[in-house]
C-alpha cells in the first residue's frame, strides 16, 4: 500500500504518493529533484543529509518520508532568499570552506540552525554544535574560519544568479 503525503518543502506545498520505506532524503533528491542534501553514511553519523524539519535539524536519512507528513522541510536550497546566499552559505564561499563538497550542505544547514539558536558560542561550544557533521577531507579549519566569520558579523551576503527552484512536477492524476 502506498501513502498520500502532504508537506511543505522550501515554502512550496507538495503532495505526492510515496511508498513507506522511502526515506525523506530519497524523496527530496529523487521525487523532488532537490539534490543538495547528500547521503554520506546513511546511518546518522555524518550529518551530510541534514535538513530542517519544522526549523530543527534532522537526519533526512533516518526519517521516513511518511514521518514528515504535515511538516515544513527546509533543504540547503531553501536557505537562499531574494537571490542571496544566507550568512553561513556566503561565509563558506568566502572562506573557501569546501573541498570535495559532499559534507557542505549538511554543515551549512546544521550551522545555520545552531547559530540561529546560539549566536555567540565559544569555539568549544561551536565545535560541539557541529559535532554531528563529518568532513571526510578533514577540511575543518576553513569550516571553523567560515563559522567564526558569521559569529563576528563579518560576512557579506553573496548574490547568486536567479535559479528557478522548480520541484519535479507532481505526476498526473496521483492525488
Partner 1 sequence: MRRFDYAAPTQIFEACALLADRGDDARALAGGTDLIVQMRERGRKVPLIVSLRNLEGFKGISQNADGALTIGAMASGNEVHHSPLVQKHAYFISEGAELLGSIQIRNRGTLGGNVGNAAPSADAAPPLVAAHATASIVGKQGTREVPVGDLMVGPGQLALEPGELIQSFTVPAQPAHTGTRYVRHVPRREMDIAVVGIAALVSLEDDLATIKEASVVLSAVAPTWPHATTAEQTLRGQQISEKLLADAGEAAAADSRPISDVRASAEYRRMMVDVYTRRALATAIERAKTAV
Segment 53 to 72, residues that bind partner 1, using CB under 8 A: 53, 56-59, 62-64, 66-67, 69
Q: Which is nearer to partner 1, 62 or 157 (CB)?
A: 62
Nearer to partner 1, 81 or 118 (CB): 118
- 102-161 residues in contact with partner 1 (CB under 8 A) are 110, 113-114, 128-129, 131-133
CA 36 from centroid of its chain's CA atoms = 7
Q: Which one, of 12, 66, 33, 48, lies nearest residue 58 by Cα?
A: 48
Query: What does the radius of gyration of the chain's CA atoms come to, in whole angstroms?
Result: 16
Q: Does 30 bind partner 1 (CB under 8 A)?
A: no
For the chain, how far is it from start to end, CA to CA, in angstroms? 14
Give the Cα separation of 96 and 41 in Å (integer).
Answer: 24
Contacting positions for partner 1 (CB under 8 A): 1, 3, 19-21, 23, 42-45, 47, 50, 53, 56-59, 62-64, 66-67, 69, 110, 113-114, 128-129, 131-133
Amino acid at each position: 500500500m502506498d501513502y498520500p503525503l502532504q508537506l511543505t518543502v522550501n515554502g512550496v506545498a507538495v503532495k505526492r504518493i510515496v511508498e513507506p520505506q522511502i526515506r525523506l532524503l530519497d524523496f527530496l533528491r529523487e521525487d523532488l529533484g532537490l539534490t543538495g542534501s547528500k547521503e554520506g553514511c546513511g546511518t546518522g553519523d555524518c550529518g551530510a543529509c541534514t535538513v530542517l524539519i519544522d526549523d530543527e535539524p534532522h537526519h533526512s536519512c533516518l526519517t521516513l518520508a511518511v514521518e514528515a507528513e504535515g511538516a515544513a522541510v527546509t533543504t540547503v536550497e531553501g536557505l537562499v532568499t531574494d537571490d542571496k546566499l544566507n550568512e553561513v552559505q556566503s561565509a563558506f564561499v568566502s572562506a573557501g570552506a569546501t573541498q570535495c563538497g559532499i559534507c557542505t550542505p549538511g554543515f551549512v544547514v546544521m550551522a545555520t540552525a545552531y547559530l540561529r539558536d546560539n549566536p555567540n558560542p565559544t569555539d568549544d561550544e561551536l565545535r560541539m554544535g557541529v559535532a554531528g557533521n563529518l568532513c571526510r577531507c578533514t577540511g575543518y579549519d576553513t569550516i571553523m574560519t567560515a563559522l567564526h566569520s558569521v559569529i563576528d558579523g563579518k560576512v557579506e551576503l553573496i548574490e547568486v544568479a536567479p535559479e528557478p527552484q522548480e520541484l519535479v512536477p507532481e505526476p498526473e492524476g496521483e492525488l
